[in-house]
Amino acid sequence: MKTLVGSFAALALVVTTTLGQETTKKSQSGTFNGPRIEIQPESHDFGNVQQNLKLTKEFALTNTGDEDLIISRISTSCGCTAALTAEKVVKPGKSTSLKVTFETRRYKGAIQRSVSIASNDPRRVRTVKVKAFVEESN
């Protein structure tokens, strides 16, 4: 019985030491434990545009972490702006697209809208911005 208890204690010590070394290796290598969302580009300027147009821009959402990134919510600052991702789950090292559509409607002048992306990245909600200068149609 003493031999059996001693064997379990030795096994537990080896497993604990091995797991501790793996954690140390990850933190020393500079990698992050968990999902990380990076967005490229972070903003887009459509420039001078006319009224009543439907403009689109694709952004790349990349998971630079080491766990699955889960996109939980996408919201826009205005009903004239919509955004959709191709995928809701992004594997580590992979990317998906975020397609943003902005309708100029009857707006005039400088317009800026934002899209907020909530995910399981513990840092915060990320935001992309689109802007344009809407010229009055004749």
- Predicted local confidence at residue 12, as pLDDT: 45
Q: Give yes or no for a contact between 33 and 67, defined as CB atoms under 8 angstroms apart.
A: yes
Tell me how far apart the alpha carbons of residues 61 and 121 are, in angstroms, rounded to a whole number. Answer: 12
Give the model's confidence band at 26: pLDDT under 50 very low, under 70 low, under 90 confident, else very high: very low
- Mean pLDDT over 39-43 rounds to 97
Give the model's confidence band at 137: pLDDT under 50 very low, under 70 low, under 90 confident, else very high: confident
User: Whole-model pTM above 0.85?
Assistant: no
Give the model's confidence band at 13: pLDDT under 50 very low, under 70 low, under 90 confident, else very high: very low
Paired sense of beta strands 43-50 and 126-135, if any: parallel
Tell me how far apart the alpha carbons of residues 39 and 66 are, in angstroms, rounded to a whole number. Answer: 17
- Predicted local confidence at residue 32, as pLDDT: 58
- Mean pLDDT over 21-43 rounds to 70
Q: What confidence tens digit (pLDDT) does each residue in 48-71 have?
A: 999 999 999 999 999 999 999 999
Q: Which residue would you say has higher pLDDT here, 32 or 27?
A: 32
